Structure 1
């Protein structure tokens, strides 16, 4: 029984004998954050991914629906989701819609950038170290400004209880420009696996180009009857200059196959990408695009067998993002590779690896699947059995929960599902 006391007694003896000389030169004092490349990388890397969550679904839904390239339908209540998809499709978004609920994600990302800048030394920090963080911060401001107009300019962390006021859109645009110009020459010019998904000189140039090409929209009062889209753009030459800078770098080209650029195995080797979000299935999950663009029962043939992607999918798909007829009609240029990124009419299975159309019809419950280009909402009858004319009663964009309703509208397979990972990691 006494054996259990041996170790504590030994440790106590060691502690007593080992604490008699405390005059030791400590080598590990750090009054400032280490300026090594590894330390700075560890500190800044998390600042670049605040947009990962919104981009993989909700931001994409907002801009897709509100641009009229697609609409968010429902199926007898399925995927109505309190109007989250229908409202932006009808240009009637509400404050509590999920598609605009990501505002806080980017605000938090801006706060994170500000905190990192402080921890790296604030005004005394190395310009090269904080330049990409400032570029990310400017990018988050740009996305918010582009979508919501007047927003706060958060170039520092507010004090406790400090009121944060929105700035006019024009002031935000000019601030974004000033930030990007200030960091431009301190950004890395490297484009490789190490810089993939991180701000670079070329990301700054591209963001300036986006800002400049719409300069009049951002800086003029577009609600004024006197505003005109034909007004001369004072930043047009600046836009051309930053585009020329990208071209002269020789780092980018359009040689990669258009459709292959967007497959699951894309990455730094694609020479068309200037700034990308590098999702994966473990550390940065997301990329839900295919889930909601694959038709509602496309996961299998109705009996558990192969579905739209030639392999049965273990999780259901949404199928509620459908292309408008007007947008689908744009994919009509003969020989254009982009035509292969949409499906409609008689549907054939899509190869689960290459995302190319096979010669096998997509079947469901023994019948071949066809998709209608025009979208017909499910009719609503009054108490007398008469069809109610289209109007507010149809604002749920319901097409019905049957094979006819599920196949209304053509679909985009630009970002095709990779079934192996879809099944393994739960969408």
Structure 2
């Protein structure tokens, strides 16, 4: 149910910089006014924000959305075994309908846990776009490009990407954007990477890539190129501020310097990195070096959920135990990773990531009257260390209410669950 104007009345407003009591007036797709005294008559719809806290809609900077269908398929394995023996064989049976079903399921999960923007790389992305358009979320989509040095395969990957750009870039009233998605420096040839760089610059389109996720990957690139992954990418002129690199676990001091110098953005995926035993990204060190680091869940096959509230807690705790320093990655920093830093990593900081007049109305309203959030003394601490996805009460994206009182407005949840269950069963039966 769309409204031209929405008033969230008498609530706590937290955007990572400060917290204040007040009301939020939304008009069309933007925040029009923040004030302690807004007349109810100015709004078509009024939401009671008392006993709740409003935060910016969270930004998931790295996902493979349709992998929700592979949730729980291959647990407790290293990345190479997980990919080669289980995930890639299952992905061989993917089709448009499966990816649409998995994407819809992922959209439901993200809405219900307070995410309003995500950055996705996978396959059959036009069907993912169809699911996103129906859901009301905001995203950047990229077709995962892999050529393994095959010229014909490379040509086909660019053909799919160009078609995606043509059909989906800036669609759904601007909520859906498209990026180039070279999978990684070990699955993509130098020719593919250089062509991506050239075309991305020419078209003003961003790049989404995996880099430095495992020691094995680093060794593969080093053996093939004589340089570590970020050194190699820098040598071929690939790295610029429009690049978002997922993971960045195994980084040398020189690579951190390169990332900082080229203003490359990173996506930290702590749950996935821990589950696959990939390692621990030096996030605290990166942030101290003024590198923009957003937070991501990765796919549901290696996480195994898309809950950004949980991801914040894991990110904070992982840095502390890894550095043996309890002051590493404090609540304020990790909350910013999930909001404004994530927005910056995607080049969207002028539109989303904080609650400011004139910005897009992308908000999550969280119920604070629960046992695990009582007593409610330190909002940032509670959100990072205590809150759960199920605490999210209402979600607004682009000025539209996507969920109210835990009830989805645009998607029929039961139908999506049945569709996804059937799709997952069909995929399993083919393997």
- TM-score, structure 2 length as denominator? 0.24
Q: Which has the higher strand share?
A: 2
Report the structure number with the largest CA radius of gyration: 1
Q: Which has the higher contact order (CA 8 A, sep 6+)?
A: 2
